[in-house]
């Protein structure tokens, strides 16, 4: 282990140098919620750290629902739940050797509604820590905040920054999929976790006790990433039911079910991204 992070294998000075070239000198993980840094790329972060790369993480939401969405009897405990989620993230990042770049205060499910402020926060972190690589959750319909984060990252590709997207979970083909993209481009790279890395990732996921139920489906055998493709953010990432809309059949408003209409999410994301990129040069 190096600084608490498992090293990929014994033999690897050459491999570690290759990883540094691949992952850059200073990486910023865009964590839509506290736990995405482990779910998406915990082992990759460990390998990058072992290779000498500085790995930062910005938590773009505090990971809990907003105060008005939770059940009325849970609202007196809301602030404590937010503090607990942050404490879990602090413990996980310390174990993995990640450096928190910022703790953003917006609730989960609101990132896609607050992209201008989120962009400012990411830009500030990039400038403060001389970031040369961004890592983002994949555009895969796992969570609207993940897809919004991915779209936000695409702005920096246009500005020349290297961006990798990491698969987390989706329902492409109508079944739960962990660490598999809905569709491949041919540029995917797979990290097969060693036994030590698998044990370490399970331990890191275990720090998020408040999310135990949601994390039980997350695999620890592999992590998959690729250079960020040119996604169409104006429509869902695949034609099957999206992960976050799988409980839309529930006949009453339940806090744990996100009833947002998926196309509303992608209309909002695409409008902001198009506006942020500006008009094409030929329209000037």
Each of the 284 residues of the chain gets a pLDDT tens digit; together they read 233 333 334 443 344 444 445 678 999 999 999 999 999 999 999 999 999 999 999 999 999 999 999 999 999 999 999 999 999 999 999 999 999 999 999 999 999 999 999 999 999 999 999 999 999 999 999 999 999 999 999 999 988 899 999 999 999 989 999 999 999 999 999 999 999 999 999 999 999 998 888 888 888 999 999 999 999 999 999 999 999 998 888 888 888 888 899 999 999 999 999 988 876 544 44
User: What's the CA gap between 61 and 58, in Å, rounded?
Assistant: 9
Tokens of 120: 């400012």
pLDDT of res. 160: 84
For residues 43 and 70, the answer to whether their CB atoms sit within 8 Å is no
pLDDT of res. 22: 65
User: What's the CA gap between 266 and 239, in Å, rounded?
Assistant: 13
Residue 46 CA, chain-centre distance (Å), reads: 16
Give me the phi and psi of 222, to 5 degrees please.
Answer: -155, 160
Nearby residues of 120 by Cβ (< 8 Å), 6 or more positions away: none
pLDDT of res. 261: 93
Domains detected in the chain:
13-283 (3.40.50.10320)
For residues 152 and 57, the answer to whether their CB atoms sit within 8 Å is no
């Amino acid at each position: 282990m190096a600084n608490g992070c498992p090293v990929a294998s014994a033999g690897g000075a050459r491999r570690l140098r290759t990883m540094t070239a691949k992952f850059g000198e200073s990486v910023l993980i865009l964590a839509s919620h506290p736990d995405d840094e482990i779910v998406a790329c915990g082992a990759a972060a460990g390998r990058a750290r072992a290779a000498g790369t500085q790995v930062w993480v910005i938590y773009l939401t505090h990971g809990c629902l907003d105060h008005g969405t939770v059940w009325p009897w849970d609202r007196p405990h809301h602030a404590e739940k937010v503090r607990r989620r942050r404490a879990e993230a602090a413990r996980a990042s310390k174990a993995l050797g990640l450096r928190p770049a910022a703790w953003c205060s917006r609730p989960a499910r609101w990132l896609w509604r607050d992209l201008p402020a989120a962009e400012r926060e990411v830009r500030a972190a990039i400038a403060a820590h001389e970031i040369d690589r961004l890592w983002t959750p994949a555009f895969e319909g796992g969570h609207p905040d993940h897809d919004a984060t991915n779209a936000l990252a695409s702005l920096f590709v246009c500005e020349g920054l290297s961006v990798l997207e990491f698969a987390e979970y989706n329902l492409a083909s109508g079944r739960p999929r962990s660490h598999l993209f809905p569709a491949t481009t041919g540029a995917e790279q797979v990290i097969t976790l060693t036994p030590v890395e698998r044990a370490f990732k399970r331990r890191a996921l275990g720090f998020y006790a408040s999310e135990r139920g949601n994390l039980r489906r997350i695999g620890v055998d592999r992590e998959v990433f690729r250079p960020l493709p040119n996604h169409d953010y104006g429509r869902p990432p695949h034609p099957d039911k999206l992960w976050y809309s799988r409980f839309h059949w529930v006949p009453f408003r339940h806090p744990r079910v996100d009833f947002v209409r998926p196309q509303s999410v992608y209309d909002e994301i695409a409008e902001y991204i198009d506006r942020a990129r500006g008009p094409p040069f030929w329209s000037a």
